[in-house]
Amino acid sequence: MVSRSNIAGMVRRLALQGPGAASISTTPGATRDLYHGLLDSFLEAITNVFPKVTLLLLKLSRPVVLAGSLAVSSVGPAAAQDRIAFVVDMTFYGDNTEFFNPWREGETLLGTEVRLFLDIDFDAHVTLRGGLFGDHRFGDDQNFENVRPVLALHVKNDVTRFIIGSIESGTRQVGLGPDRLGPHGLLPPLQRESLAFSRPDEAGLQLTFDTERFEQDAWINWQQLNTDQNREVFDTGVRGQLDIAPGLPVWLSYQFHLVHQGGQLFDSGPVGDSWAGGPGLIVELPAGVFDRQTAEVHGLVSRDVPDRVMAKDADTGFGLFTRYAAEKGGWRAHVIAWRARDFVKSEGDENYGSLREDRRLTSLRHYFEAGLTRTFYPAEEVGLEFSARVHRVDIHHDYSFRIVAKVDFDIPLKVPQRP
């Protein structure tokens, strides 16, 4: 079976030891049974009408926010025995890209992200999260480049999880490889993976599904409010895969991502959209001498509209993404080949795009990448990933390397039982 992605990473501590932690149960009672029945009905309703929910996530963000607020307001009294855990989630990163080509400029990102928060489990279905997020860049005169609150409500059952507030993104797991380490695990042409370091904290709405044959992650990340100085900015996307042939190692994959700039309160700039996405196939190959071998192919379509007033001048492009990866004993090697025409996508890795840094368009693009990753787990709470890549960007040859360390643990706090 094809290895499943980290949608299950919504569960705490997956970054280091994987899903499967048991939920905390509560004392049964008539009131709680009624509450659980209402909650299960709510989540079942979401599951049954998921295509409509996804459409709402992509087109009608404000009504979805209202719907999520109404769902949260239905939560009943706290359980007789609550569970509180103090959680430490730290990521140390060093990312160096030596790019000397017309499409993407090289940069060095070196720093630490930290989230310190309390998880309050009202029962097996509802968790309230509150704390602080900080991002410190080494060499910066400021102690922290960003300091933000971590505030979220998680409503979940065995299949689905709905989050309003601080959503799950950024570096959630080591060992995936640098080409799959983006904020939501999207393909690099849709969203460059270095955003996991340069924009690690996201807030909005998130809805995930996770079963043996189907998994999906859909989200809205609100980046900027509409003011008299700026347009509102948000990005929204969906990533999923479906087991289309039970018993065979073949999965249908699909990904879509949209960056929108607009807003009605203030006319403070152009209204624009940039989106791309498409279907794909992921195949688990015979392992042979390796632990795992996978091959995948994705067909993508893009459309970039910087200003809807000038929509007739928008760029529509196409791309074909292929990737092969082999893993053995903590090592992972991968090769990527990409061919595209007029492919332009905001937040996408510029090495894959047709738009140069000087804003000129190179219609036909070719990109190749080969990388090697080594992952260590020196302690249960610590993971280390070292990777190096070579890049062939049309006729240009570049290289990059990355170090990521993940520290993730929680400390249960005892709470006196209510009388």
pLDDT at 139 over 70: yes
Per-residue HEC secondary structure of 354-416 comes to CECCCCCECCEEEEEEEEEEEEEEEECCEEEEEEEEEEEECCEEEEEEEEEEEEEEEEEECCC
Q: What is the DSSP letter of 172?
A: -
Predicted pLDDT of residue 107: 92
pLDDT at 23 over 50: no
Predicted pLDDT of residue 16: 52
Going along the chain from its start, the domains and CATH numbers come out as 26-413 (2.40.160)
Predicted pLDDT of residue 17: 40
Predicted pLDDT of residue 67: 36
pLDDT at 242 over 90: yes
Q: How confident is the model at residue 57 (pLDDT cuts 50, 70, 90)?
A: very low
* Residue 72 parent element (H or E): helix 61-73
73 Cβ contact partners less than 8 Å away, ≥ 6 residues apart: none
Q: How confident is the model at residue 356 (pLDDT cuts 50, 70, 90)?
A: very high
- Note the pLDDT tens digit of each residue in 178-187: 999 999 999 9
| CA dist., res. 44 & res. 24, Å (int) | 21
Predicted pLDDT of residue 266: 80
pLDDT at 20 over 60: no
Considering only CA atoms, which of 93, 44, 91, 90 is closest in space to residue 71? Answer: 44
Beta bridge partners of 297: 281, 322
Q: Which range, of 7-11, 297-301, 307-311, averages the lowest pLDDT?
A: 7-11
Q: If you average pLDDT over every residue of the chain, what do you get?
A: 83
| Mean pLDDT of all residues in 93-104 | 94
Predicted pLDDT of residue 312: 75
Q: How confident is the model at residue 375 (pLDDT cuts 50, 70, 90)?
A: very high
Predicted pLDDT of residue 419: 61
pLDDT at 66 over 60: no
| Mean pLDDT of all residues in 199-217 | 94
Global confidence as pTM: 0.79
Q: Are 371 and 392 in contact (CB under 8 A)?
A: no
pLDDT at 10 over 50: no
Triad 97, 103, 109: Cα angle to 5°: 25
- Note the pLDDT tens digit of each residue in 143-197: 787 899 999 999 999 999 999 999 998 877 899 999 999 999 999 999 999 999 9
Sign of the dihedral defined by the CA atoms of residues 73, 74, 78, 83, in that order: negative
Predicted pLDDT of residue 159: 95
- Note the pLDDT tens digit of each residue in 342-351: 999 999 999 9
Q: Which range, of 26-35, 128-137, 325-334, 377-386, averages the lowest pLDDT?
A: 26-35
| Nearest-10 Cα torsion for 338, 341, 344, 347 | 0
| Mean pLDDT of all residues in 230-249 | 91
